[in-house]
Structure 1
Amino acid sequence: MRSPATSLSVLSLLASVVAGCGAPAANTPTPRVAFAAPPPLVASELADDAAVARAISEHYVKYEQEIPMRDGVKLFTAFYVPRDQTRKYPILLHRTPYSVRPYGVDAYPPASDFRALRRFAPSSRFVREGYIFVHQDVRGRMMSGGDFVDVRPGKTGNGAKDIDESTDAYDTIDWLVKHVPANNGRVGVWGISYPGFYAAQAAVGAHPALKAVSPQAPVTDWFRGDDFHHNGALFLADAFGFYASFGKPRPKPTKQSKWGFDYDAGDLYEFFLAMGPVANANDKYFKREIAFWNDLVEHGALDAFWQARDPRPRYKDVKPAVMTVGGWFDAEDLWGALETYRAIEKQSPGAENVLVMGPWSHGGWARTEGDHLGDVTFHAKTSDFYRDRIEFPFFQRHLSGRPGAAPPEAWIFETGTNVWASYDAWP
């Protein structure tokens, strides 16, 4: 492992020495290859949510489509294409179990919907640059057809109609590059938390057009370390609170999602004391209507049910570049970020595999400035640095068709010293 953040200055000095020793004669032409970048789609800076929302509605046309999968199931997909069709744009895909709202070709994310804007793109720089933004309700959720399976295991057969989340991503990308106007044939996938799981699955048996993937705080293993179990111990408040809303049955496609649970107690501690054993949750509240809660209660040990839902053994021969992102203070999916990076590094040694770890809570890099956490200050806007210096260049390098500097193996924010360090190897 090399010393962090030193190689750039050494190379710059060496380049200047070499340039001075071997300067061409005055009359000798210097061959050059010009890579003129087109101007941004949106000329002005996007300083706030109102500006971002306005840019989306003014510079993008929205479409909605039910995209067919190999087994005949159709997945509801919304995509936003730049109105300027004089050039081609990369595609950025976001697959989610949470809803692609707002629904309707005339409905654009409003400035008042903080969550919708944060899901629209990794940052406002992508909106300004000009991308084709694609959002899809995953199989069995919201407006998509089929049956939903939590952290769906990889397919066990190779039949023409055998499916999993990797094949759904493949079929979606195949349709997009063939049908969406003005695309340049290059696709990236990103997502935070549960959408991070779907992003990682897209890298398995990836479509040739998929060039860059960024699983961010990716759900990885719900028994060993993410969300509902930490080292096998049930994270009761997290699991109960999430599935009380997310786990409600969806008998048919819907545009409505209802979140929230009336605990009817002074605090959660009193609520769970009164509930008693975990098994009482079904008798008192869920009435066995929430499928994954039933599975969670039934499988209290690391058995075949959980092992089938561990995606790490599938991260073999990964072709797209991968940038996994995590937060040191993420109470939900810190484990998943580190383990996703580690699994790809071990099983796909030829892949461009980058790790980014910053001083954030769950998804904090996308929704906060990252300059503090509670009373702890970091003396810098770490999220701005990440979005501008790490995330945007990563996707641009692989999707724009223009050259860019290769990233280090790892970008790590060191708390205490409060500096970003880059490493050629990790750990």
Structure 2
Amino acid sequence: MNKKILALVLSSVVIFASGITVGIIYLSSTRYRYIPSLDWSFPQNCTFHQDYVSVPYMIPMRDGVGLATNVHIPRDIDQPLPIVLFRTPYNKNGINPEGLVSKGYIVVSQDTRGFHESDGEKGFPFAHDQMDGHDTLRWLEKQPWSDKKIGTQGGSALGITQYLMGPNAPTSLKCQTPVVGTPDLFKAMFEGGELRYELLVPWMQATGYSENTILSAITNDTLTSVWDPVRIVNDFEQVNTASLHFGGWYDIFAQDTIDGFMGYQYEGGLLAKGTAKLIMGPWRHGNFYGGPTGEIEFPNQNIEIATYAQDAVIQKWLKNDPTLWDQYPTVLYYVMSSIDYNSDELGNHWSQSDSWPIPINVTSLFLASTGDPHSGSLSDISVDSAPSEILYDPGNPTDTIGGNNLVLAAGTYDQTSLESREDVLLFETSDLLEPVTVVGKTNITFYFSSNCTDTDITVKLTDVYPDGRSMLICDSILRLRYRNGISSGELMTPGTIYEITIQLPSTTYVFNEAHKIRLAISGSNYPRYFANPNTGEPIWQNTTYYIAENTFYSNSTHPSVISLPTPEYTSLMPFVF
């Protein structure tokens, strides 16, 4: 991997660390003082700071492996206190405890297995984190300074470790705040059955996984038992903790965050069901404290929401203070839109709901060719039209520009430079006579054939501005061998017409008057996704590649259609901070 990409990854994977603590060490006569109310003394190997004391531990797991752990305790502790736990592969010393300690919490940061100062082997990514998370909770609840109320926090990989420790956790786990994580690592890494190359491979390389482990993750591209330890979507009923799920519409785990919320809120155990909340903002991975999301900096981001919301969770569930928690609705989401025109245009504000998904209508727009070999129309009437054909050459894949990326530039970007390619097929509405609001998942049903036994279809939903820019809203992919599900692959018969459905991830967006809704179709979006060689061979094992001739049909027999989730804009309930 080239050095520039590696440097970008290294900067990306640590963005959720709270900043390395550079504290003043105070040598004091209280260094080893005995605390009668706890029947405990600060140990000799502790480090005193102005307001807290850091105590290093090697917490034993059930298999004898020790995990390096920092316990940061308020210096004036005189009674057991609630604990906020961070489990991270990015170095426990990067967690700054000062803010939480000043609010009366003990802060615990731990290197996950095989990382930094912890013992053990990394193994398959996150495979030990459920067991290790539970063992850590059980150790913490037994300590004299613990009041047996524990909450977890952290984002990205730290969000994943939280999800994995959720099912069957000890009762001391009272609340969780997974920020931009996923409850299903397989689904996150193989979207639509295709490898999210830009996410998985550079991340594993940057975090020190062996080539054999990377190869194992890549080549296990079918949902088998290998992935069982790193997905909890079949175990939500075993979760019994309150939660706040925090994500962004252009984050790498955008849909995963929503899936996690819905699993806890509607399928969780007695103490989880009905006690989850969801916040989705106009953010990419790591910028929920403000700034541009690609080529747009959305207004009214209310960046303080990240800190306040996380405080709300632990105040409510660790300190029994619901004041801040009760101010947040069950679902809080930002409705995006264009920002270059007059202030009377709709969108770019926060809305609230008691549930997700919100009630919607479905607007169906049918695809039709119009004589241009690379463009067609979207309209509410199905008409007979000629098939549309494009070639997909794995040796010259369509580039990634924007989207829900980790390493590459993420967010909304103008797609017109890609849309002029001959291997991109466009369908769009006429100029909108009134705004169209989209909230939720969009389904696209194609009738499709190929000369190959396997290939990919990529789709992008864009907002075409009056000046011609085509700004990316969301995108997805389908590896055709997994058109019937991800548990087993089924190759196509060349020339056979198949009905397939691709589901775009959830979004919230207002297409304003005089704009157009555009659907862009191609065979690749690289390196966001692995470029399918079209040979039907197992992933990473092809020795050659084929050029796919892909045909899309839209007529009375084969009505290809995009189904938009379109609530009435006036039905959206605004939220005021």
TM-score, normalising length: structure 1: 0.64
Structure 1 counterpart of 2:278, from 331, 343, 355: 355
TM-fit CA distance, 1:395: 1.3
Aligned counterparts, 1:2-401, within 5 A: 57-101=49-93, 116=94, 119-120=95-96, 125-153=99-127, 164-179=128-143, 181=145, 183-224=146-187, 226=188, 228-248=189-209, 289-306=210-227, 309-330=230-251, 332-348=252-268, 350=270, 351=272, 352-365=275-288, 368=289, 370-388=290-308, 390-401=309-320
Change (3 A) 1:150 1:196: farther
Q: What is the match of residue 353 of structure 2?
A: 423
* One-letter amino acid of the structure 2 residue matched with residue 120 of structure 1: N
Q: What is the match of residue 111 of structure 1?
A: none
Computing the radius of gyration from Cα coordinates, the structure with the larger value is 2
| Distance of 2:195 and 2:215 partners within structure 1 | 14
Is the Cα contact below 8 Å between 2:240 and 2:269 reproduced in 1?
A: no
* One-letter amino acid of the structure 2 residue matched with residue 132 of structure 1: I
| Distance of 1:49 and 1:242 partners within structure 2 | 20
| Distance of 2:293 and 2:302 partners within structure 1 | 11
Q: What is the match of residue 474 of structure 2?
A: none
Considering fraction of residues, name the structure with more strand. 2
| Distance of 2:352 and 2:258 partners within structure 1 | 16
Change (3 A) 1:149 1:180: farther
| Distance of 1:399 and 1:384 partners within structure 2 | 21
* One-letter amino acid of the structure 2 residue matched with residue 421 of structure 1: S
SS of the equivalent of 2:280 reads strand
| Distance of 1:203 and 1:396 partners within structure 2 | 19
| Distance of 1:362 and 1:209 partners within structure 2 | 30
The structure, 1 or 2, with the larger RCO (C-alpha pairs under 8 Å, 6+ apart) is: 1
Change (3 A) 1:360 1:308: same
Structure 2 counterpart of 1:402, from 321, 324, 343: 321
| Distance of 2:229 and 2:108 partners within structure 1 | 29
* 1:313-367 Cα shifts (integer Å, max 9, x gaps): 122232110111111111x2223212212222342164212111111111322xx
Unpaired segments of 5 or more residues in structure 2?
1-17, 26-47, 338-346, 358-577
Is the Cα contact below 8 Å between 2:73 and 2:101 reproduced in 1?
A: no
RMSD: 2.9
| Deviates most, 196-205 or 136-145 | 136-145
SS of the equivalent of 1:305 reads helix
Aligned residues: 304
Change (3 A) 1:180 1:241: farther
| Distance of 2:303 and 2:157 partners within structure 1 | 20
| Distance of 1:231 and 1:54 partners within structure 2 | 50
* 1:156-210 Cα shifts (integer Å, max 9, x gaps): xxxxxxxx533322221222232253x3331101121111111112221121111
Is the Cα contact below 8 Å between 1:223 and 1:232 reproduced in 2?
A: no
Unpaired segments of 5 or more residues in structure 1?
1-47, 102-115, 154-163, 249-288
Q: What is the match of residue 40 of structure 1?
A: none
TM-fit CA distance, 1:67: 0.9
| Distance of 1:179 and 1:360 partners within structure 2 | 39
Is the Cα contact below 8 Å between 2:155 and 2:180 reproduced in 1?
A: yes
Is the Cα contact below 8 Å between 2:74 and 2:101 reproduced in 1?
A: no
TM-fit CA distance, 1:52: 9.0
| Distance of 2:124 and 2:154 partners within structure 1 | 16
